[in-house]
Amino acid sequence: MTFDPRVPGAYLAPDYFEQLAELRRTARVHHLADDVYLVPGYDDVRVVSRDPARFSSARGVLVNDPLRHADVDPAAMAGSVLHTDPPEHREYRAVVNREFTPRGVAQYETRVRELAVEVIDAVPERGVVDAVATLSAPFPVQVIAELLGVDDGDRDDFRDWSDAMIESPDSGDPAVVQRAAHLWRFLDRHLRDRAEHPTDDLVSMLVHAPFAGRTLTHAEARLFCLSLLVAGNETTRHLISGALLALWEHPDQRAALIADPGLIPGAVEECLRWVTPIQAFGRTATVATELAGVPLPVIQARVGHGSIAVTADVYVAVPRDADRAAADRLASLLAGRTGADETPGNRPSVTAAVTTDPEEAAG
């Protein structure tokens, strides 16, 4: 098996789903080079997702997360809901949970509908258009910018910087890194402004909300905003893009939705299962352990003056070839609805990774 989820473009292979099906047929755990492990089954992924004591998010959750290959203290990621484990993860999530309950989200519905209409009205009525560039990409960023209180005049730059932040872990292009740095500096200024001049946006709430008997530090609030931006932007963009493609490829399903708009909520859930917007996420094994009988050893690598673990990644994708019940269970898990690190608003996320931390293993 040559599939390697760390390689940019691996998910674009024309036989991608066939490769995943082959992974599931041949073994529960696949050991690749450089201590990378792929796990294709629901039960094993559920074990990884629900056991943060053994499989931590602190060393990175992206496939090519910089934290996994650098001498960085995980404490430096305090505030990132993507890079923390319970109980800290639950405490950070609780800061915004009220905003993402059905009642909390309802207060934004009118404005979100207005933004959707604006995006659709901007699409040319004639000719060929890029649906991602004109619909899928701008809409999530507009909504997140609204939540964070970003001024209209900054939103084009905000979208460009957001795209660069998502691209940067897989890119060595200095220009991409520089664009991502602009977002970091923008959030720094924006948080300081809201600390002195609060409004009714999410950023103002973050800098003043109680957290574990105190308020968030500036650094924590900045990482929190970045986590919401990156997670909400990319996942929603992929979901919309994949849903558009699925409805184009299945015109009977599109016709059914047009005939009965009441089917739309269920269709959104089905597209979440079918599209699986994020195809990979990472975990770090904090102790020498095993999964499905396969040993996951602690392997050290020297970086500068520190010792860190080389990633042992575990990856999964929703099986389109599996029976519907099994596929639904796996999609529910990977969409962020199950496990110790479920995300605010059940933002979708799909594949799992494991790394090893030598200091914790030695203890």
Residue 119 has pLDDT above 90, yes or no: yes
Please give the mean pLDDT across all residues of the chain.
Answer: 75
Question: Whose CA is closest to 118, among 83, 85, 88, 146?
Answer: 146
Q: Write the DSSP string, 100-155.
A: GSHHHHHTTHHHHHHHHHHHHHTS-SSS---HIIIIITHHHHHHHHHHHT--GGGH
Q: Which residues pair with 31 in a beta bridge?
A: 37
Q: Which residues pair with 300 in a beta bridge?
A: 309
Cα dihedral 347, 74, 280, 289 sign: negative
Looking at residue 92, its amino acid is Y
Q: Are 194 and 216 in contact (CB under 8 A)?
A: no
* Three-state SS at 306: strand
Tokens, residue 256:
């059914």
d(Cα 323, Cα 328) in Å, to the nearest integer?
Answer: 9
Question: Whose CA is closest to 145, among 54, 269, 38, 232?
Answer: 232
Residue 189 has pLDDT above 90, yes or no: yes
d(Cα 168, Cα 294) in Å, to the nearest integer?
Answer: 33
Query: What is the pLDDT averaged over residues 310-322?
Result: 43
Domain spans, the chain: 10-362
Please tell me which of 97-111, 130-144, 212-226 the model is most confident about, judged by mean pLDDT.
130-144
Q: What is the CA radius of gyration of the chain?
A: 21
49-64: per-residue pLDDT in tens?
888 888 888 777 777 7
Beta strands in the chain (DSSP E): 30-32, 36-38, 55-56, 210-211, 214-215, 284-285, 289-291, 294-296, 300-303, 306-309, 311-312, 354-355
Residue 12 has pLDDT above 70, yes or no: yes
pLDDT of 78 reads 64
Tokens, residue 355:
């790394």
Report the Cα 321 to chain-centroid distance in Å: 24
pLDDT of 71 reads 62
d(Cα 90, Cα 211) in Å, to the nearest integer?
Answer: 11
d(Cα 249, Cα 254) in Å, to the nearest integer?
Answer: 9
Is domain 10-362 annotated with CATH 1.10.287.1400? Answer: no
Q: Are 281 and 50 in contact (CB under 8 A)?
A: no
pTM of the model: 0.76
Query: What is the pLDDT averaged over residues 167-175?
Result: 77
Looking at residue 42, its amino acid is Y
Residue 92 has pLDDT above 70, yes or no: yes
